[in-house]
Amino acid sequence: MELSKSLSELKQTFKTGKTKDVEWRKSQLKALIKLLDDNENQIFQALERDLGKHPVEAFRDEIGILKKSAKFSLSCIDKWISPTKKQVPLLFYPSKGAVQPEPLGLVLIFSSWNFPFTLSLDPLIGAVSAGNTVVLKPSELAAECSAFLAKTIPLYLDSKAIKVIEGGVVVAEKLLQQKWDKIFFTGNARVARSVMCAASKHLTPVTMELGGKCPTIFDSLSDGDMKVAVKRIASGKWGPCSGQACVGIDYILVEHKYASNLIDLLKKTIKRFYGEDKGNFKNLCKIVNKHHFNRLRNLLEDPAVAASIVYGGSLDEENLFIEPTILLDPPVDAAIMEEEIFGPFLPIITLDDIHESIEFINSREKPLTIYAFTKDESLKKQILAETSSGSVTFNDTFVLNACDNLPFGGVGESGFGRYHGKYSFDTFSHEKAVLERTFYFELEGRHPPWNDFKMQFIRLAYNYDYFGLVLLLLGLKRKFT
């Protein structure tokens, strides 16, 4: 009953047109920025309790990126909501065309636990910018962060237009039974199939932000470039939530002859970044819960996989901590190479030739992103031309997520739809085509020659033959008066 009442209120709010007003949209974005400013320490505490995130990581991947996203939307929203003029065929001259964005209506956002604020509030920024009413369902696995959002959002944002509903599977199923104008889901492919099945009953459009096994291609580099590349790999693998990230590096592809040097540099970098004390690693998140800890432990229980460990491998069940772990050539048919790792394990797969990496990647599901460290322009072109992925980043990791002018999203099993910046606004908008004509210049005639003329005119207009059209118009009065 409470859910039904909440949805009725949101629908009524949308009907009033309140959320379409640009000043309302701006006020909500400003209020969200204020929420982040006022509650920075509480957010740090919630992230530490749920995931063990260090304040530096929490600000970088959650608070800072959200404030940047909200400010970017604020600076662009007037332009985004304006109609975009479009050219129309000369056949319909004089006329004018435009595309007018309009909000979809009532939208549902399912967020994930690994970045509980970013994956909740970044889609919300897009939904509000586009003028929708919103239900946000945070992940129950990050319970402290979920409770914070449920308690705090109503204090800053319009509670008649934006509601947070907490709960687990039962609540999610009840939400999916309702009719929505849009569903935005972040999570794994298994749950995504259930969401799509429920959405299909109402023909509700969905955006799926999933994941997959994101590879890194590591080509030959100079000593200096190689050290930089390894630092960026270590940061991109273990920095974001200890590898519990959909865009985290899942495995590395490298030629045999460079593998040992790569491993040595990775070991040194791990020790430098995170320390050597297995009982007190610095700046690393814990595994979110016992279930995921056991899932990761099971990946290492395969004897052939355990034998491939060249660094790390220790597990602390009491504190839900797993140290950064490097594996060299685990069996490619083992579970660790078949399913998304979503943890601190880094398999390294060696090849005879780096160009074999293309075939290796293409033999698997399309990844959310491909990382490639190379200065070889022909290899870059080959990666772009012969592989398919949600995105490609050359010579770095993870940073694309902070680029508001680039779309973020997957393809195939890694998801579909996109967001960030203007792409978030578009995701939660309908682009309505508008065509307006005048009452002038109506071609009409009763005699057979006139019909021939109309046919000639239409041919020229469709072909955009401007010169022929001008000549035809000049001769119009002379020929048929």
145 catalytic per annotation: no
List all residues 6 or more positions away from 378 whose beta carbon is below 8 Å from its beta carbon: none
In angstroms, rounded to a whole number, what is the distance separating the alpha carbons of residues 403 and 117?
A: 18
Other Cβ atoms less than 10 A from the Cβ of 387: the count is 19
Question: Residue 210: which of 63, 418, 401, 420 has the closest Cα?
Answer: 418
Instruction: Choose, from 209, 323, 340, 413, the residue flagged as catalytic.
Output: 209
Phi-psi category of residue 24: left, alpha or beta, with phi > 0 → left and psi -120 to 50 → alpha: alpha
Give residue 283's region: left, alpha or beta (phi > 0; psi -120 to 50). Answer: left
Q: Which of 62, 246, 255, 413 is catalytic?
A: 246
Q: Is 246 a catalytic residue?
A: yes
3-state SS string for the chain: CHHHHHHHHHHHHHHCCHHHCHHHHHHHHHHHHHHHHHCHHHHHHHHHHHHCCCHHHHHHHHHHHHHHHHHHHHHHHHHHHCCEEECCCHHHCCEEEEEEEEECCEEEEECCCCCCCHHHHHHHHHHHHCCCEEEEECCCCCHHHHHHHHHHHHHHCCCCCEEECCCCHHHHHHHHCCCCCEEEEECCHHHHHHHHHHHHCCCCCEEEECCCCCEEEECCCCHHHHHHHHHHHHHHHHCCHHHCCCCCCCEEEEEHHHHHHHHHHHHHHHHHHHCCCCCCCCCCCCCCCHHHHHHHHHHHCCHHHHCCEEECCCEECCCCEECCEEEECCCCCCHHHHCCCCCCEEEEEEECCCCHHHHHHHCCCCCCEEEEECCCHHHHHHHHHHCCCCEEEECCCCHHHHCCCCCECCCHHHEECCECCHHHHHHCEEEEEEEEECCCCCCCCCCHHHHHHHHHHHHHHHCCCHHHHHHHHHCHHHHCC
List beta partners, residue 415.
209
d(CA 154, CA 173): 23
* CA 376/CA 235 separation, integer angstroms: 23
Number of other residues whose CB lies within 10 A of the CB of residue 423: 17
List, by residue number, the catalytic residues: 209, 246
